[in-house]
């Protein structure tokens, strides 16, 4: 019984995070939001919707750190920066939206960064040791 309760709480939190991400996605283009809040919100949304993580998941412990701490903290801070009326309006809109948007531009950017980093490390190792 206790384990079911914990699982239900985790499912609720996951749905709440997804809903908050949709709210942020709708809010960053609102003209009532200040520029610094728009920028921060855009960064949080882009990172959360990106299929590529800053720290890959295959790295033990650190790989899941961004999913468990960084993304929820970013969502929390972004929501604190937004005006309450903007959040409430977009909360109603978020109820209607079922699928999450895909941010292919951000995904491409993260892939490019990792590829360039891999090329740089490979060239460094090759010139240093061969």
Among candidate residues 10, 2, 15, 24, the one with its CA nearest the CA of residue 79: 24
Per-residue pLDDT tens, the chain, 130 aa: give them: 566 688 788 778 878 888 888 899 889 888 999 999 999 999 888 888 777 777 777 777 777 777 788 889 999 999 999 999 999 999 888 887 755 556 677 778 888 888 999 999 999 998 988 8
pTM given for the model:
0.64
pLDDT at 41: 93
- Count of residues making up the chain: 130
Count each helix (H run) and each strand (E run) in the chain, helices first. 6, 0
pLDDT at 33: 93
Among candidate residues 117, 124, 45, the one with its CA nearest the CA of residue 79: 45
| Whole-number Å distance between alpha carbons of 105 and 70 | 21
Place of tokens 């520029």: 35
pLDDT at 84: 93
| Whole-number Å distance between alpha carbons of 25 and 30 | 10
Place of tokens 């490979």: 122
pLDDT at 35: 93
């Amino acid at each position: 019984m206790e384990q079911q309760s914990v699982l239900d709480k985790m499912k609720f939190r996951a749905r709440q995070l997804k809903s908050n991400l949709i709210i942020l996605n709708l809010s960053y283009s609102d003209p009532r939001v200040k520029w610094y809040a728009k920028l921060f919100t855009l960064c949080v949304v882009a990172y959360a919707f990106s299929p590529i993580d800053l720290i890959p998941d295959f790295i033990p412990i650190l790989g899941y750190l961004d999913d468990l701490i960084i993304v929820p903290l970013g969502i929390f801070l972004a929501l604190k920066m937004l005006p309450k009326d903007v959040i409430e309006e977009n909360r109603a809109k978020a109820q209607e939206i079922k699928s999450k948007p895909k941010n292919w531009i951000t995904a491409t950017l993260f892939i490019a960064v990792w590829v360039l980093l891999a090329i740089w490390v490979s060239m460094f190792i090759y010139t240093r040791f061969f």
